[in-house]
Amino acid sequence: MKLLLVEDEPVLVEEMEQYFRSHGFSCDQAVTFSQAEDKILNSRYDVVVLDITLPDGTGMDLIADIRQRDAETGIVILSARNSLSDKLEGLDLGADDYLTKPFFLEELSARINALYRRKTLRGTVEILFDDFTIEPLAKLFFYLGEPVSLTKKEFEMLVYFVVNKNRVLSKASISEHLWGDHFDQHVNFDTLYMHLTNLRKKLTRLSGKHYIKTVYGIGYKFTC
């Protein structure tokens, strides 16, 4: 799952990023309105955690940009303001949830996971294709009911491919999804190819099928 954390308190945004990365999330962060606007326009996120009060604008004004970019992106507003009018305004603009500061990271994580299940996974806790089963939140993968060992990046790549089945994904979009702000084209494309090759081998060895097709000059497409 890829998150954008929009929060102008440096300590809090670092705590959030460390927490979610330790739980297997891919995270980008923005500490200003302009940074957040740029990331929203140039990347796709499963969930955006959005502080209302930013030094150069209000997070409320970013909701329309997020919705225009991708209607399925989950939006969780963070705010120190606990008034009903603020909550209603955020929800009316298109946010999915509203969490008042201070909060527990465990609660924020639970709300993000619930949004991901509802919007990206369409309410299911399992993704099925042929004889394979993926449990995205538990980070488990099975073939004919037997567990399959994948590395963290192989698993993240597989889920990204399956959720975007039959869509051509560029190398840049896959790398950005896997590494977020740490994406470096000159380094990560070689690493991406290594993970992709290993994932292909594992899927083919189990099923005899080739699921990940190369679309020459563009990227890759998952079909089944």
The mean pLDDT of 122-133, rounded to a whole number, is 82
Strand-pair category, 2-6 with 146-147: unpaired
141 strand-pairing partners: 134
* pLDDT per residue as tens digits for the range 73-113: 999 998 887 777 778 888 888 899 999 888 999 999 999 98
pLDDT at residue number 182: 65
Q: Residue 122 — very low, low, confident or very high, per pLDDT cuts 50/70/90?
A: low
* pLDDT per residue as tens digits for the range 111-121: 998 888 787 66
* pLDDT per residue as tens digits for the range 144-198: 999 999 998 999 899 989 988 898 988 888 887 788 766 665 556 888 899 999 9
**Are 138 and 159 a contacting pair, CB within 8 Å?**
no
Is the pTM above the cut of 0.75? no
pLDDT at residue number 118: 80
Question: Residue 39, by phi and psi: left (phi above 0), alpha (psi -120 to 50) or beta?
Answer: alpha
